[in-house]
Structure 1
Amino acid sequence: MTELTRLCALDDIDPEAGLRVDVGELRIALVRIDDDVYAIGDRCSHADVSLADGEVDVDDCAIECPKHGSLFSLTTGEPLSMPAVRPVPVYSIEVVGPDVMLRPAAADQAPDVPAQESS
């Protein structure tokens, strides 16, 4: 991947909820908290369950696995509670106008800050 890939429209992501998007082999859970958007791997590292279906914890900036309750940081992918012990991937994204875009694979690193709408 050498250029930005469109994942969805920003308005497709309900506030404080997850949205699953597929890009080739990648399953990504997008989460919107206020004006910030986060992108993490959609598969719980403890069980093959969609994290996009979990509850968003706004205070901890995390999402809960709907099967066993593991909480994952939206900024680092690290598990914040058991039974998960392995992190999930975090993807680098940006909001360009009305669209949420995935940055090229070479630039994918855990972001220090979430994507914010660019003017």
Structure 2
Amino acid sequence: MSEAWTFVCALGEMLPGEMRTVFDEVTGTPILVLNYDGDFYALEDRCSHEDFELSSGSFDAEEASIECVLHGARFDIRDGRALCAPAYSAVPKFPVKHEHGGVWTRDDRG
């Protein structure tokens, strides 16, 4: 588990409906951070159906979901749960905090 937080962007730099990928500074895990209506959520940038980056897919800012471009699996960005086949398992969700004028995340898996 990483105790170090990774800087994503300055608060206000990522607008609602936008997303950005960062890499956890300790574990090297790719983390997809999404702004849903002013709230930030972070998921592992990897589809649980097939090892492919979710950041290549489309973020539906009205439905709070992201769709994998490879096979169409969709996930709820708020908790990572799979919303449709071919994915059946959730994508890991990570904490996000606002501190020192920035948005931060980390891989908190133990």
- Using the TM superposition, name which of 29-38 and 92-101 deviates more: 92-101
Q: CA deviation at 1:65?
A: 0.7
**What SS does structure 2 have at the residue aligned with 1:80?**
coil
The amino acid of 1:70's aligned partner reads: A
Once the two structures are superposed, what CA deviation does each residue of 1:18-70 show, in whole Å capped at 9, x if it has no partner?
21111132110111123111100100011222112221122321111111111
Q: Are 1:25 and 2:28 counterparts?
A: yes
**What SS does structure 2 have at the residue aligned with 1:21?**
strand
**What SS does structure 2 have at the residue aligned with 1:52?**
helix
1:94–1:104 distance in 2 versus 1, CA, 3 Å = same
1-structure distance, mates of 2:77, 2:29: 17
Structure 2 partner of 1:7: 8
Question: If the length of structure 2 is used for normalisation, what is the TM-score?
Answer: 0.80
Q: CA deviation at 1:11?
A: 4.4
Contact 1:17 1:55 survives alignment (8 Å):
no
1-structure distance, mates of 2:65, 2:45: 13
Paired-residue identity, %: 32
| Structure with a larger share of its residues in helix | 1
Structure 2 partner of 1:43: 46
Gaps of 5+ in 2: none
The amino acid of 1:15's aligned partner reads: P
Contact 2:16 2:61 survives alignment (8 Å):
no
RMSD (Å) for aligned C-alpha atoms: 2.3
1:93–1:83 distance in 2 versus 1, CA, 3 Å = same
Q: CA deviation at 1:17?
A: 2.9
Contact 1:72 1:80 survives alignment (8 Å):
yes
Structure 2 partner of 1:65: 68
